[in-house]
Structure 1
Amino acid sequence: MSVVPSSLLPASAVPAFRGRIGRDAASGHYAVPYRYRLHVAPSTPGCLRIAVTHALLGLDDTLPLTVLTETPDTPDGGYAALRPLYEASAHLYDGPAAAPVLSDGWTGRIVSTHVPDILRDLALRFRGDGPDLLPSARRREIDAIADLCERSVNRAAQRAGELGIDGEAAHRDPLTVLFSALGRLERRLARGPYVLGDAPTAADVHVWVTLVQLDTVHRWHLDAAAMDRVAGHPALWAYAQRLAARPEFARNLDIDAVLRHHRAHCRGREAAGAAIRIVDWSAGPS
């Protein structure tokens, strides 16, 4: 396992524990039932993706999941429950004990805090009889969808909200990026029930969590005209509502916790788009 020493990071940063789950015992960490535990705060996008992936794979009985509160409970922005894991894993660790964490019950140490690695290892090493969320023939497409969600939806929406305060012209470019990305996803979902066809993959986890963020967090800083255009993608939002009714998605989503987490960290000003809600995320399974 590798870790970036806290002395080389900004004071506000968390060290990146990057252990991986291998194929067999020779790799050190390998998939064994009940050996590992996930610690997540699903009010954050990365933890929500992990929790949904864990549920889709049906890992409740073999890889326990601990759900933390949406608000860290220590002054440095970490969790007291995770402190022993961090201190056992990094000598003289004095940074925040943040989520997510994949921990090893045999050693009492952290395997990984890196969301992409955890997601990949869940899908490839702990899958069991669960769905193939990372089919080998589609992995490049899945990576491209994840990048589209992060760069062209999440970051573009955030940037548009930040610049929109200074006038319409200032945030035209990030909105163009955002609407182009939403259009690409709309066209995909007009052709089938899932992003890559007839079965769910990791791409759907990325897209769905991104839509949750767009409709519950980013809308607070976009104007009404922008949110009207965001809402004008019927296949995309019907898909979001349909997945929100599946137990694997619904049981891990606490909209009130997402909003409390957002308000605790956000210093931006509210815009008119805050009044526009597209999906009833709390509808639950039908």
Structure 2
Amino acid sequence: MGASPSGAAQSGSDEFVREPLGVQERITSDGSSPWPVEADRYRLVAARACPWANRAVIGRRLLGLEPVISLGIAGPLHDERSWRFHLDPDDKDPVLGIEYLRSAYEAAVPGYDKGVTVPAVVEVASGKVVTNDYKALEFDFATQWTEFHRAGAPDLFPDKYRDEIEEVSEGVFHDINNGVYKCGFAKGQASYEKAYAALFGRLDELSERLSRQRYLVGDAITEADVRLWVTLVRFDAAYHGHFKCNRQKLSEMPVLWAYARDLFQTPGFGDTIDFEQIKQHYYGVHHEVNPTGIIPVGPDVSNWLTAHGREELGGSPFGDGTPPGPPPPTERVPSLT
């Protein structure tokens, strides 16, 4: 996410508090919202740097929605005006024709004064943001867009596991997804140490869980795995140093490191990751944390391709389904090989 560079607001205390979402609409197939499921109507705007946007991009890939929902990528650097399409020709999104994502928010809500965040879904014809509710977006991709799912698409929210997915995800959100930000943007020692303890306590708990099973819930990938993984994949490149989450690197936590590599090597996960853009964003935008703006050269990321051995725990990544094909040529990220 990102309105302020951190995508968050600070509370009256010295603790980090994530700011509320500004356009919480849904896109549905049953007429329950003003925005219907429709091919080629919407553009998903994401950023390779952002874990919240990464969740939506992974879901789109796994479900095979690339042909019906186009993808715009904001660059890793932005300022107080919002995410910017500085990687595109003429610094403008080639479909929406805008330089700053804020323009699409203001088209939807004149005088818009809340967070300009990614992911955001924009209606192409009007140029208006439809929603930036990343959690609802993930659920709707999986449950409302089924007529456009590819053959062999996985069920990311199986009915029998939905309560368990949400229960696990709740702890992941507060202590891990948001927890790394609570560490990095804490304004006081006590707040930092509280967030640090919660972060590593939850990581230890999940490490124990994943020592017995290949995936977080059930025997195939679900949305719970997507939600955890987007933080893990950024851990050593950004959160360990930049956000002072430094009890251990991910690569020093054997179970979670193997789990994260397993998913990285699964089509739809690692092929959405650009480590350079991740570092450019975190170290180059958060000036209150890294005033010099110097971007670290490391870590070496070639170890993401090493053997993980998680197959021994059983399960199958896509259950009865199949992996997605390669990303469209215009959406490919730099390869580690």
Aligned to 1:3: none
Aligned to 1:6: none
Aligned to 2:273: 253
* Partner of residue 18 from structure 1, selected from 15, 24, 27: 24
* Partner of residue 82 from structure 2, selected from 73, 77, 80: 77
Deviation string, structure 1 residues 124-159 (Cα, Å, up to 9, x no partner): 112424211111222222222222222222444444
Q: TM-score, normalised by structure 2?
A: 0.67
Tell me whether 1:48 sits opposite 2:71 in the alignment.
no
Q: How many residues align?
A: 268
Aligned to 2:244: 222
The amino acid across from 2:81 in the alignment is: D
The amino acid across from 1:76 in the alignment is: R
Q: Which runs of 5+ in 1 are unaligned?
A: 1-9
* Alpha-carbon distance in 2 for matches of 1:170, 1:84: 35
Aligned to 1:136: 159
User: Given that residues 207 and 256 in structure 2 are in contact (C-alpha distance below 8 angstroms), is that contact kept between their aligned partners in structure 1?
Assistant: yes
Shift of 1:30: 2.0
Aligned to 1:208: 229
Residues 227 and 150 from structure 1, CA distance in 2 versus in 1: closer, same or farther, beyond 3 angstroms? same
Residues 180 and 104 from structure 1, CA distance in 2 versus in 1: closer, same or farther, beyond 3 angstroms? same
Residues 189 and 34 from structure 1, CA distance in 2 versus in 1: closer, same or farther, beyond 3 angstroms? same
The residue matched to 2:35 in structure 1 has which SS?
A: coil
Shift of 1:219: 0.6
Tell me whether 1:150 sits opposite 2:143 in the alignment.
no
Tell me whether 1:237 sits opposite 2:257 in the alignment.
yes
Shift of 1:107: 4.2
Shift of 1:211: 0.6
Residues 21 and 162 from structure 1, CA distance in 2 versus in 1: closer, same or farther, beyond 3 angstroms? closer
The residue matched to 1:227 in structure 2 has which SS?
A: coil
Aligned to 2:4: none
* Alpha-carbon distance in 1 for matches of 2:182, 2:302: 25
The amino acid across from 1:238 in the alignment is: A
Shift of 1:193: 2.1
Aligned to 2:16: none
Aligned to 1:5: none
The amino acid across from 1:179 in the alignment is: F
Residues 218 and 190 from structure 1, CA distance in 2 versus in 1: closer, same or farther, beyond 3 angstroms? same
The amino acid across from 1:77 in the alignment is: S
Tell me whether 1:58 sits opposite 2:64 in the alignment.
yes
Deviation string, structure 1 residues 206-238 (Cα, Å, up to 9, x no partner): 1111212322222104376x116x555322111
RMSD value over aligned CA atoms? 3.5
* Alpha-carbon distance in 2 for matches of 1:218, 1:156: 10
User: Given that residues 179 and 195 in structure 2 are in contact (C-alpha distance below 8 angstroms), is that contact kept between their aligned partners in structure 1?
Assistant: yes
Residues 161 and 104 from structure 1, CA distance in 2 versus in 1: closer, same or farther, beyond 3 angstroms? closer
Residues 177 and 14 from structure 1, CA distance in 2 versus in 1: closer, same or farther, beyond 3 angstroms? closer
Aligned to 1:118: 137
Deviation string, structure 1 residues 41-61 (Cα, Å, up to 9, x no partner): 121111111111111111111
* Alpha-carbon distance in 2 for matches of 1:99, 1:223: 24
Residues 227 and 267 from structure 1, CA distance in 2 versus in 1: closer, same or farther, beyond 3 angstroms? farther
The residue matched to 2:248 in structure 1 has which SS?
A: helix
Residues 91 and 269 from structure 1, CA distance in 2 versus in 1: closer, same or farther, beyond 3 angstroms? closer
Q: Which runs of 5+ in 2 are unaligned?
A: 1-8, 10-18, 85-98, 306-334
Shift of 1:192: 2.3
Shift of 1:187: 2.2
Q: As a proportion of its length, which structure holds more helix?
A: 1
* Alpha-carbon distance in 1 for matches of 2:24, 2:245: 39
Shift of 1:117: 1.7
Deviation string, structure 1 residues 98-130 (Cα, Å, up to 9, x no partner): 432112235442210121121121111124242
Residues 179 and 84 from structure 1, CA distance in 2 versus in 1: closer, same or farther, beyond 3 angstroms? closer
Deviation string, structure 1 residues 231-270 (Cα, Å, up to 9, x no partner): 5532211110121122311221111111111012153369
The residue matched to 1:37 in structure 2 has which SS?
A: strand
Shift of 1:174: 3.6
